[in-house]
Structure 1
């Protein structure tokens, strides 16, 4: 269905090609997973399938890409729209209309389908993706995860033969991600749709893949094969694979179920040991943020209801919950973007909505879901220089942070030419340059590979150890298990759980990390915890 024949793509002014020597085939009716570290060209490869590369992005494509027999060099994206449906990393850039139902219908209108067919397909897609209750909602009022589902639905209504998906579950809570993946499975198995998907959260998707394509490094020749075979040598792999490598399991398990079947001997070795205790946050320390019975309204919706929360220096708090639960609203309120309808919120003794931005930035910094909102310079060096100036930091402060989080990115690179994960690392460095006592992050691992996530965790741990408080809204249960001292779960704007990470996530099947599920009822959360215990016992 998809054929790459010696494909290389070089962008203008780039020293090296984004991808080189790609020669592979994706058969019809299979789910093929594209993996690799951030910045190796996965989005470029996906764009070549839809025709966006080079017709929209520019650059030079050599070799040949065919989809259902159509050459993407001679067929522009609109001439492939009935064959290829594409959903990018940023759903907001995908939308054309204002409401959910109109967006689902737009692609079919462009193709001139009959009204009766359009109506039926819209209803089918609303049910498939759990969007029926949102059909009349303005897209601008939806959460990031809800927007992601609408973006996927808008291409499904056209019934394309090929679906190209770039990080389709990155903004979704675990339950919503399972729903989307179940839909993709049905499309592949029941309708013979071919799915080519790039995803960093491999713990969610690798067990569903028929084939895996690995891009090991920028410009490197990709490797293609069975998921277990590729995961055995891939530099990026989920915790279940990391645990399998550590324990010497063969073949490597790709799902929690398969790993549990092999984990008996490992559980016995760990039975008389306990994970290391999390660092204790001094309760006597004056809080950096206090929410007391806070309620916030967004339009006619009560986004937060009677939320009480105290955050202390050196504490890392993970906000979790389904899409639309109020996590982003809570973070936005802490930086003054929303006003309390009732109750109070203070940060460093200040009321955020009544404090001038120049004064508030010394107390709190927010890295939003869309990092481009913080980036406005023409180069990485320009962003870093502006961040140092705004934060009254020593020259080179922000650039050092970028180097630590994002090795190998040249100063002259334009932020728009970075991958989603690389832009996030740059935005985080811009905020960290001011070293605010309270750091807020909204989905900070979206678009990050496991190595980049490890560097981020190390950076945030160092900040917490230095007394900075961290609050992150995340659907990444593995991040919460690695980093958070405390987990707060929100539902419909209310706090439904608040406690130590191990207690909250282990008791919640939806938010438990893979290691916890594999080794239950033992209290282990992460592969590094297990590795340390095995090393000490040997």
Structure 2
């Protein structure tokens, strides 16, 4: 279905091609997962399939990409729209209408599909993606995960033969991600749709892949069986990491496969427990008291009580639309409470001047471009140093530490999603605020970049900063958070040590906990340390 013939892409002024000598065929009716570290060209590869590369991105495409016989060099994206449906990392950038139902219908209108067929397909897609209750909602009022589902639905309604998806579950809670992946499987298995996708959260998707395309910065692309390539891939999900630590061969790709192999490992770990982090007993740096907040006619937060302590990292979890981003916004002064109180680092956020608040409370929003306004990475970093009173070069050093290799001369809009997030994180963290608020801080980051972020946040917590991160990344919560708070319908339904809260929930439990239950292990690093310690 998709043929790459000696494909390489070279951008203007780049020292080397982004892709080099790619030669393979993605068969019809299969799900192909593209994996590799950040910056190896995964998004560029996806863009060659619908003609975005090079017709809109610039650069030079060498070789040939054909989709169902059409050469993408000779057909622009609009001429491939009936064949290839594509959803990028930023769903908002794809929207052209104001509400959910109109957005689902727009692509079909452009293709001249009859109203009767359009109506039926819209209804089918609303049901498939769990969007029926949102059909009349304005797109601007949806949560990030809800917007992602609408973006996927808007291309599904045109019934393309090929779906190209760039991190389709990155903004979704675990339950919604499973729904989307179930839909993709149905399309592949029942309708013969060919799916080409990237996803940094491999723990969600690798078990569904028929083929894996592995891209690395220092070697040729490899295409083949998922288990075989996960054995050599520099990026891999926790269940594969557990298999590597335990010496299993072949490696498991799913929790079910791992549990079938785990009896000897459970026996080896029986009687041991991972280190326990003592609870923080210092006075809180921020408090929320009986907070109720409306956005529109309905309350988004209902009587929320929360205290955040210096030196403590708290994960805020819950399904899309539960109120996580709104709670972070209230702590950052973006929203005025309808009732209740918010105190952050001694300030009432919504009444404080931004210049005063920025050094006490730092928020990285779900859309990092909202923080970026300069023309280059260098200028952005220099502005962050100036605004926060930090030594020159502080922000740029943090960028280099979190994600090496970002070009200083690039405009922030030309960065990848992960690079843009890294820059926004660095801008906020340069001020080293007392309270650090992060909304989906690992979206677009690979496992190595996440590990570097974990190290930085642990150092900040050790220095006495309070960290609250809203996330759907259950593996991040298990690895990093001392405490986990779960929101549902604007109310806190669980609050306690991460080891207790995430294990008690099958939705929010990490892969290692599911494999080794009922033992109290959460992460591969805990298990590897125990296996290496004979005591």
Q: Tell me, yes or no, if the aligned pair for 1:104 and 1:153 is still in contact at 8 Å.
A: yes
Unaligned runs of 5+ in 1: none
1:313-392 pair list within 5 angstroms:
313-392=310-389
1:447-466 pair list within 5 angstroms:
447-466=444-463
Q: SS in structure 1 opposite 2:158?
A: coil
Q: Deviations over 1:431-464 (max 9, x none)?
A: 0110001000000010110000000001100100
Q: Tell me, yes or no, if the aligned pair for 1:98 and 1:139 is still in contact at 8 Å.
A: yes
Find the aligned partners of 1:107 and 1:10 in 2 and give their Cα distance: 31
Partner of 1:435: 432
Partner of 1:474: 471
State yes or no: 1:311 paired with 2:315: no
Q: Deviations over 1:278-329 (max 9, x none)?
A: 2542x1x221110000001001121100000000100100000000000000
Partner of 1:101: 101
Q: SS in structure 1 opposite 2:7?
A: strand
Partner of 1:497: 494
Q: Tell me, yes or no, if the aligned pair for 1:362 and 1:436 is still in contact at 8 Å.
A: yes
Partner of 2:171: 171
State yes or no: 1:296 paired with 2:293: yes
Partner of 2:33: 33
1:172-251 pair list within 5 angstroms:
172-217=172-217, 220-251=219-250
Aligned CA RMSD, in angstroms, stands at: 0.9
TM-score by length of 2: 0.99
Find the aligned partners of 1:48 and 1:41 in 2 and give their Cα distance: 11
Find the aligned partners of 1:531 and 1:117 in 2 and give their Cα distance: 55
The CA deviation at 1:389 is 0.4
Find the aligned partners of 2:279 and 2:491 in 1 and give their Cα distance: 26
Partner of 1:70: 70
Find the aligned partners of 1:295 and 1:24 in 2 and give their Cα distance: 55
The CA deviation at 1:411 is 2.0
Find the aligned partners of 2:232 and 2:369 in 1 and give their Cα distance: 34
TM-score by length of 1: 0.98
User: Deviating runs (4+, > 3 A) in structure 1?
Assistant: none
Find the aligned partners of 2:194 and 2:184 in 1 and give their Cα distance: 9
Partner of 2:5: 5
Find the aligned partners of 1:306 and 1:16 in 2 and give their Cα distance: 55
Q: SS in structure 2 opposite 1:472?
A: strand
Q: Deviations over 1:143-175 (max 9, x none)?
A: 000000000000000000000000000000000
Find the aligned partners of 2:366 and 2:278 in 1 and give their Cα distance: 28
Partner of 1:110: 110
Between Structure 1 and Structure 2, how many residues are aligned?
A: 535
Q: SS in structure 2 opposite 1:506?
A: coil
Q: Tell me, yes or no, if the aligned pair for 1:39 and 1:418 is still in contact at 8 Å.
A: no
Q: SS in structure 1 opposite 2:216?
A: coil
Partner of 2:275: 276
Q: Tell me, yes or no, if the aligned pair for 1:439 and 1:471 is still in contact at 8 Å.
A: yes
Unaligned runs of 5+ in 2: none
